[in-house]
Structure 1
Amino acid sequence: MAIGLLSGTVLVTAALYTRLPELIPTHFDARGVANGWMHRSLGAWMLPSIAVVSWVIIRLGARVLPSDWKERLAASPTAVMGALTVGLLCSLQAVILYAALEHPPNVGASLGFVLGAFWCAIGLMMPKMRRNPWIGIRTAWTLSSDENWARTHRFAGYAFILGGLVAIIAAGLGCTPLAVAAIIVSSLVATIYSFILARRLPPSA
């Protein structure tokens, strides 16, 4: 799936490349208004390149870990997480191409929807992650306790899905800053929850 998304994104980008302006928007503020540009020779290929590197790191990077961590990752949905990350970056590439070709006042709704959908999907995967130092909410408290990891990621699943849904709704209402805030807050809440658990759980948990 990830390879298909990458291939499709590269092909579409290549097909549209000659139609792109010399400078294309590659950075947007909280309202989705472009505030950073790059030459198309770099900007057009930045996200596809990051997507490839991200997929390789998520799927193959764990090989450098000790065997016990590898076993935990093998029991985790790393392939799905890799595909979701690629899907996010390819979707953002589509938003950039749209912004470069159509010159809308802002792309806040598109960005909010993409980020919200990604966050909901990540939320569905959170409870399935096993304790590891590679993917997930990796705090000192989650990494030192299976119980803390499991309960934090169960909580994070609900928090991320709620944050993602709020982001999608906010994007639809034209309130992109709220969409971004919902995602940031849901992430922070999950991290704080792991700290609270660490203070409540017995040392051996």
Structure 2
Amino acid sequence: MFDRATDRWFFALTLTALLLGLGAWGQLPPGAQVPIHFNLHGVPDGWGSPAVAFLIMPGVAAAVWGLRRLLDASGPTASAADRERVARALDQIFLATAGLMTTAQLIIAAVAISDWRPAAAHLLLPLALVLFVAGRASFRLADPRDSQGASSSGALSTLRWATTAFSVLVFAFVAYQALGVGPLPPNLLLVGVGMLLVVTGNVMGKLRPHSLEGIRTRWTLAHDRVWDHTQRFGGKAQVAAGLVLIGLAWAPLPPAWHGPAVLAVVLASSGAAAVKSYWAWRKLPPESPEPGCRVPRDE
């Protein structure tokens, strides 16, 4: 079932989130309400039952894993080299998503148990690391084919550890709030979204025409050459947008403007990619198809 390195990393992240949630749930008294939403200042502003709080993130991560498996067979016919490039790009994007789900679970668990078991919040960070390493190691022992082989490319390995480091960094800030030291830094949203844009944008250029992934406009679907040009440009625009958000995190910007800033930067990068796809299509020879009529790349 878990026959790929990425699948085992997915399982390790999801299992970490699930066990942390169940452990925190066991520390709460009957009828307790758990914070499930936080404002831009890191203060809880939404509450729900422990079942919702502690099961939704592992559930979303499991759904993402299932979607990733379905995507393996959903793309158009392509060469083995193209399929491998798409698979690696999708692996990085979905592993980053799974890492975010685990981070969100850590945030919810830390804040939830801090009200009832303050001392237990100190244990969440080392527990998260132990569970993650143990989950990953157990599947390496169960299937030694994935040691440091082809499935562990340099880019993918870098992303794995970068995702883990990002999760630990975010949780360290959250633990400060949970332990009563202070609220989350208001620029955490900008840094987190910026890092995600940089990571995913870095692999956009490797994506090939796909039924769900990539920058899909009626012009990118008209010709693979347009698709390739747009994905490369869109990836660079996404990386630039991420760097802008990271830079804004240290600018004298009021916290109330952080959300609109994220929206504006993301829309600007997406709009630029859409315009690029149109101009790339306009530069095709006159006999090229109308938008939406896909033609494969030249061999």
Q: Does TM-score exceed 0.5, indicating one fold?
A: yes
Larger deviation: 94-103 or 42-51? 94-103
Q: 1:112 to 1:144 in 2, by over 3 A?
A: same
Does structure 1 residue 165 correspond to structure 2 residue 243?
Answer: yes
Shift of 1:41: 1.1
- Contact kept in structure 1, 2:190 and 2:246, CA below 8 Å: yes
Aligned twin of 1:154: 232
The superposition leaves residues 98-125 of structure 1 with CA deviations (integer Å, 9 ceiling, x where unpaired) of 4544286567433333222111110111
Please give the alpha-carbon distance, in whole angstroms, between the structure 2 residues aligned to 1:98 and 1:184. Answer: 33
Aligned match for 2:54, one of 44, 47, 71: 44
Larger deviation: 86-95 or 117-126? 86-95
Aligned twin of 2:273: 190
Aligned twin of 2:64: 54
Aligned twin of 1:6: 14
Shift of 1:131: 1.4
The superposition leaves residues 16-52 of structure 1 with CA deviations (integer Å, 9 ceiling, x where unpaired) of 2244683333344566654433222112221221111
Kindly tell me the number of residue pairs found equivalent between the two proteins: 204
Does structure 1 residue 111 correspond to structure 2 residue 119?
Answer: no
- Contact kept in structure 2, 1:127 and 1:157, CA below 8 Å: yes
The structure with more radius of gyration: 2
Aligned twin of 1:179: 262
Larger deviation: 116-125 or 20-29? 20-29
Aligned match for 1:201, one of 267, 273, 284: 284
More helix by share: 1
- Contact kept in structure 2, 1:142 and 1:148, CA below 8 Å: yes
Please give the alpha-carbon distance, in whole angstroms, between the structure 1 residues aligned to 2:72 and 2:38. Answer: 32
CA root-mean-square deviation: 3.0
With normalisation by structure 1, the TM-score equals 0.80
- Contact kept in structure 2, 1:120 and 1:165, CA below 8 Å: yes
- What runs of 5+ residues in structure 2 fail to find an aligned partner? 1-8, 115-177, 290-296
Shift of 1:190: 1.9
The superposition leaves residues 140-168 of structure 1 with CA deviations (integer Å, 9 ceiling, x where unpaired) of 22122111111111111111111112223
Shift of 1:61: 3.6
Aligned twin of 1:81: 93
- What runs of 5+ residues in structure 1 fail to find an aligned partner? none
With normalisation by structure 2, the TM-score equals 0.58
Please give the alpha-carbon distance, in whole angstroms, between the structure 2 residues aligned to 1:98 and 1:179. Answer: 26
- Contact kept in structure 2, 1:95 and 1:107, CA below 8 Å: no
